[in-house]
């Protein structure tokens, strides 16, 4: 049946495992009793460090036994590299004597060996399993007594109990459920690599996101060294922390935020303006670049890279209305240097100044940074964490800090 008779959606029916068991219905009256919250004893969660400081920060201090983590990201962004480094660090911990099981569903063992040699990983206690059968993974897990599992990727696994192909909704849901159950019963951490769609969302059923404890997303531009590790869900820690990495020949390393040349050019030319953006709870310097050129086309172009396109359109409309700038006959290109993506409105003032600087062909004064949100009336509003941003700007040596001062 291609169309569901209830919700009328197409191709939404999937095959699931069903077992019929005849059980006697017994009364369970009184077996489960409610407990007052004040009477529940809080237990301290024991965490184990991954050996990667930025990853520990995002996870909330380290991994928890039985924790299921879903790692997603675009192809080639560095997911397998990060997990291989994690597996090497985990296997080298002095308090662990068991093996790390790396399930290779997409790559061969020889390909993983080449990457390990490039990263300088020997892998004495790292076991590679080339299979796509989830039941075989569970069997090997109990046989070798693995202490840590990495599955790359969940979309390649299948079970013979279902007739669907690898990557289908039913296969992904059932395979993930079996792996998570086995990991929680054994009390060992589990990392699942997930594919992403063209829109950047995690591929597969939504139930997969609800089944795991933590969802991590590795993002960044392939042609720049900067990588950001964000979390959208974390049952064992906060969701407002962001890990900042730098991709190099030796793999992913925690980035040195004090080295500004990695993230911005600091060109001080017309069309450039600096701002302080918040990545999680940490302020980071970002450079907004704009190019405004005249056009003879009836519909001028608006190109946004690293900033929201609709927000750019709004800022251009504000500049046209409040400053009487004839931007309706200009092509406008705006980008964020270093491959950063800025979604927060705190960069509105920097975007506006960069566009104005390029249009007037006058550079923003040296050692200047702009922090503020623009409303439709052209006013500059106070943004969240403004004091922390200003403190970071002063720490970096900026003298001209353009912000909105609340009169209240």
- Report the range of poorest mean pLDDT among 76-90, 189-203, 364-378: 189-203
Return all residues near 376 (Cβ < 8 A) that are at least 6 apart: 314, 318
For residues 79-108, average pLDDT: 83
pLDDT digits (tens, 9 = 90+) for 168-203: 888 999 999 999 999 999 999 999 998 887 666 776
Band (pLDDT 50/70/90 cuts) for residue 96 is low
Strand order of the sheet with strand 100-104?
126-129, 100-104, 148-152, 190-194, 68-73, 214-219, 226-234, 242-248, 251-254
The predicted pLDDT at position 21 comes to 43
Classify residue 297 by its DSSP letter.
S
Domains of the chain: 46-254 (3.40.50.300), 262-402 (3.30.230.10)
* Pair of tokens at residue 346: 């705190």
Model confidence at 339, pLDDT cuts 50, 70, 90, reads: confident
Question: Which pLDDT tens digit goes with each residue over 207-221?
Answer: 788 999 999 999 888
More confident residue, 114 or 32: 114
CA 90: distance to chain centroid?
A: 22
Q: How confident is the model at residue 97 (pLDDT cuts 50, 70, 90)?
A: low
pLDDT tens column, 121-130: 888 888 999 9
How many CA atoms within 13 Å lie on the side-chain side of 314? 15
Token pair 């299948």 is at which residue? 158
The SS3 of residue 74 is coil
Q: pTM value?
A: 0.81
Q: Residue 28's pLDDT band (boundaries 50, 70, 90)?
A: low
Comparing CA positions, the residue from 61, 58, 68, 118 lying closest to residue 88 is 118
Q: Which residues contact residue 160 at a Cβ distance below 8 angstroms, ignoring those fewer than 6 apart?
A: 133, 135
Predicted confidence (pLDDT) at residue 224 exceeds the cutoff of 60 = yes
């Amino acid at each position: 049946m291609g169309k569901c008779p209830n919700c009328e959606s197409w191709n939404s029916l999937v095959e699931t495992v069903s077992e019929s068991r005849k059980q006697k219905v017994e009364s369970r009256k009184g077996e489960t009793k409610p407990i007052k919250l004040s009477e529940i004893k809080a237990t301290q969660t024991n965490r184990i460090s991954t050996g990667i400081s930025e990853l520990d920060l995002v996870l909330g201090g380290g991994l928890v036994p039985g924790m299921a983590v879903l790692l997603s990201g675009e192809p080639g962004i560095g997911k397998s590299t990060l997990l291989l480094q994690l597996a090497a660090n985990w296997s080298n911990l002095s308090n662990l004597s068991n093996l790390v099981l790396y399930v290779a569903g997409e790559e061969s063992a020889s390909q993983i060996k080449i990457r390990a040699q490039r990263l300088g990983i020997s892998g004495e206690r790292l076991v590679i399993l080339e299979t796509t059968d989830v039941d075989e993974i569970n069997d090997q897990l109990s046989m070798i007594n693995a202490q840590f599992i990495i599955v790359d990727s969940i979309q390649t696994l299948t079970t013979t109990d279902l007739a669907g192909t690898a990557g289908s909704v039913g296969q992904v849901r059932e395979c993930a459920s079996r792996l998570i159950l086995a990991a929680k019963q054994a009390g060992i951490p589990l990392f699942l690599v997930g594919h992403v769609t063209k829109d950047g969302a995690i591929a597969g059923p939504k139930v997969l996101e609800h089944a795991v404890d933590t969802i991590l997303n590795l993002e960044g531009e392939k042609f720049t060294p900067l990588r950001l590790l964000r979390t959208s869900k974390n049952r064992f820690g906060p969701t407002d922390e962001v890990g900042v990495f730098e991709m190099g020949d030796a793999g992913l390393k925690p980035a040195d935020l004090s080295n500004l040349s990695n993230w911005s050019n600091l060109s001080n030319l017309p069309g450039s303006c600096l701002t302080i953006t918040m990545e999680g709870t940490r302020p980071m310097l970002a450079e907004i670049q704009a190019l405004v050129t005249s056009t003879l086309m009836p519909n001028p172009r608006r190109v946004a890279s690293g900033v929201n396109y609709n927000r750019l359109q709004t800022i251009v409309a504000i500049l046209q209305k409040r400053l009487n700038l004839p931007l309706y006959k200009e092509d406008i290109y705006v980008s964020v240097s270093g491959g950063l993506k800025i979604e927060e409105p705190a960069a509105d003032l920097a975007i506006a100044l960069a566009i104005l600087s390029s249009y007037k062909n006058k550079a923003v004064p040296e050692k200047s940074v702009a922090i503020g949100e623009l409303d439709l009336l052209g006013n500059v509003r106070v943004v969240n964490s403004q004091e922390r941003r200003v403190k970071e700007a002063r720490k970096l040596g900026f003298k001209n800090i353009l912000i909105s001062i609340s009169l209240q």
